[in-house]
Amino acid sequence: MDFSVFLAVLVAAACHAGWNALVKGSGDRLVTAGFVAIVSGLVSLCFLPIVGLPSVASVPWAVASAFVHLLYFVCLIEAYNHGDLGQVYPLARGSAPLMTAVVSSLFIEQISTAAWAGLLLLACGILLLALPGRSAGTKFNGRAVGFALATAVTICVYSITDGLGARVSGNPNGFTLLLFINCAIIVPFYVFARKGRAALNFSGQWRTGLPGGILQVFSYGVAIWAMTIAPIAIVAALRETSVLFGAAIAVIILKEPVSAGRISAAAVIVVGLVVLKIF
């Protein structure tokens, strides 16, 4: 993988961790997630005339992905409602790259043995980040774990869906914008169905929703673009290094526990990154 692509995906991972932390730190996470989706759609709508439309062949992929992203939001919010960011985030993001690598290797494209080694190191390090919270006194909730793993499944599905959709789009940036426009239609309907009139309470939401929406479009747009020039499994795995940034945010801003275990897990992730980049 070219170093510029490698670095771009890491920057995108940091942005991804940022908008997740904004949702976690908000008062009503579901309403905030809906507002983030609306902002992402509005941003995408503004740039679509400039970027241009993707091919017609990619439209079904974008529509299908929007529904998968809805499931992702549902599972993610429920996981956050029952567990800490420092536990839920690594569990969800650590399981996903392994799922994606297996499915991608079986049905789409093969990756090298060295790449598998890097992927396994990344996944192990990411999953290990979830363990120190338990030893520091934070209890695992069964529902939080279940929803975190369900979130991982949705990540796997939309990663493959979007990677394939972008490859047939002829315009990965246009595909990304179309995807978020679709999400801006579907996700708020679900939020309204769950919350009723409370879903329309946008008071104070601009502070989290606006930067969250912008970060979401940028972070995932970079990842989708990268999937058109690099193996989907590797890009998906690199994107999950967002847990490093998520762990830092959890400790520094959200005041969640820190331990030597988290530091060791971070070191494993860094080794995995080095293996992926060298080989």
What is the spatial distance between Cα 64 and Cα 182, in angstroms, rounded to a whole number? Answer: 9
Predicted local confidence at residue 135, as pLDDT? 45
Q: Distances in Å between the alpha carbon of 188 and those of 169, 185, 194?
A: 26, 6, 10
- Predicted TM-score (pTM) of this structure: 0.86
> Greater confidence, 256 or 42?
42
The pLDDT tens digits for 131-155 are 655 444 556 577 888 998 999 999 9
Tell me: the pLDDT tens digits for 245-266? 777 777 777 676 667 777 788 8
The pLDDT score that the predictor gives to residue 82 is 81
Identify the three-state secondary structure at position 168. Answer: helix
User: Residue 106: which domain range?
Assistant: 3-278
Is residue 185 predicted with pLDDT exceeding 60? yes
- Token pair for residue 277? 């980049």
Of the candidates 206, 222, 216, 217, the one whose C-alpha atom is nearest the C-alpha of residue 172 is 222
- The answer to whether residue 26 scores a pLDDT higher than 70 is no
Determine the distance from the C-alpha atom of residue 65 to the mean position of all C-alpha atoms in its chain, rounded to a whole number. 13
Instruction: Output the pLDDT for position 150.
Output: 94
Alpha carbons 194 and 127: distance in angstroms, whole number: 31
Average pLDDT over residues 80-108: 84
E strand or H helix at 196: none
Confidence of residue 177 (pLDDT cuts 50, 70, 90): very high
pLDDT at 61 over 60: yes
Burial of 182 (0-12, 13-18, 19+ CB in 10 A): buried
Name the domain count of the chain: 1
Residue 48 has pLDDT above 90, yes or no: yes
> From CA 211, how far away is CA 122, in angstroms rounded?
28
The reported pLDDT for the residue numbered 16 is 84
Mean pLDDT of the chain: 85
What is the pLDDT averaged over residues 101-106?
A: 93
The size of the chain, in residues, is 279
